[in-house]
Amino acid sequence: MRVSWDIMRDGPPIIIVNLKTYEQGYGADGFDLCKIMEEISIEHNVNLAAAVSAIDLVDYSDNLKIPIFAQHVDGVNYGSHTGSILPEAVRYSGAVGTLVNHAECQMNWEDIEATISRCRELGLLTVLCTADAKATEKGAYLNPDMIAVEPPELIGGDISVSTAKPEVIADSVSIVSSINSDISVLCGAGVKNQGDVSKALSLGSKGILLASGVVKSAEPREALMDLIKGL
């Protein structure tokens, strides 16, 4: 089942789980994880979404009742762009949007602008990843739908950005609000538990982007249940 973002837009703050290229995050295993997310989303009326491999976009979008994001899209048009991920192909897959400029798949600002523009043309949501408040300010002028603030040194670690660098979140929220209040600021990097989520929301963020705390957990359902208690 392909899910429109509008179904969940007016719900509670969003948690986007990035499956990356973890062993547990693709094919049947990744699908099973997303199925757990779907069940929790429905049972507890929480807003959960997944960013998945381009290879899995169609299968997951067709068979899950949570929003599915791509992990990357290239700002190209039809043509000779071998190996690029065409925005039209992502839309065709059923995905609702894409991450842009994740710390593990960085882009230059020209390409970021082109990607956000192309996605906007096609109705694909964009989650622009930034490392600090300065990058957040520059990115906000490009009008993505969401900005996920993730200091790269904290990604995959045991200390969340909301604990280690709360000022980065607070400053980013203030900056984005002054430029375009329609952009939602998400908190990423090191988020592991309900306390991290609660602190991030108290700083003004509208949701969370995380990965290893759920995907690599031996008990992902329990990890997710703990996280949603912070919403």
pLDDT digit string, tens, across residues 31-45: 999 999 999 999 999
Residue 167 predicted with pLDDT over 70: yes
Which listed residue (72, 102, 104, 137) is catalytic?
102
In a domain, residue 206? The reply is: yes
**CA–CA separation, 55 and 42 (whole Å):** 26
Into how many domains does the chain fold? 1
What is the rounded distance in angstroms from the CA atom of residue 146 to the CA atom of residue 79?
A: 29
What local confidence, expressed as pLDDT, does residue 165 receive? 77
pTM for the structure as a whole:
0.93
Token pair of 196, please? 């991290």
Q: How confident is the model at residue 142 (pLDDT cuts 50, 70, 90)?
A: very high
Is 102 considered catalytic here? yes
Residue 104 lies in a domain: yes
Given this model, what pLDDT does residue 143 score?
97
Q: Which of 27, 38, 14 is nearest to 127 (CA)?
A: 14
1 lies in some domain: no
Q: Which of 122, 125, 166 is nearest to 146 (CA)?
A: 125
Could you tell me if 125 and 96 are in contact, meaning their C-beta atoms sit under 8 angstroms apart? yes
Residue 135 is assigned to a structural domain of this protein = yes
Residue 156 pLDDT class (50, 70, 90 cuts): low
SS3 of the chain: CCCCCHHHHCCCCEEEEECCCCCCCCHHHHHHHHHHHHHHHHHHCCEEEEEECHHHHHHHHHHCCCCEEECCCCCCCCCCCCCCCCHHHHHHHCCCEEEECCCCCCCCHHHHHHHHHHHHHHCCEEEEEECCHHHHHHHHCCCCCEEEECCHHHCCCCCCHHHHCHHHHHHHHHHHHHHCCCCEEEEECCCCCHHHHHHHHHCCCCEEEECHHHHCCCCHHHHHHHHHCCC
Domain-located, residue 126: yes
Q: Which residues partner with 52 through β-bridges? A: 70
Q: Is 72 a catalytic residue?
A: no
pLDDT at 6: 56
**Joined tokens for residue 224:** 């997710």
- Is residue 28 in a domain? yes
The answer to whether the beta carbons of residues 13 and 47 sit under 8 Å apart is yes
CATH code of residue 199: 3.20.20.70
Residue 120 domain flag:
yes
pLDDT of residue 224: 97
Distance between CA atoms of residues 192 and 230, nearest Å: 11
Both tokens assigned to 16: 């986007």
Domain range for 191: 6-228
User: Which of 38, 72, 137, 150 is labelled catalytic?
Assistant: 150
**pLDDT score at 174:** 96
Could you tell me if residue 41 is inside a domain?
A: yes
Cα separation, 63 vs 72, whole angstroms = 21
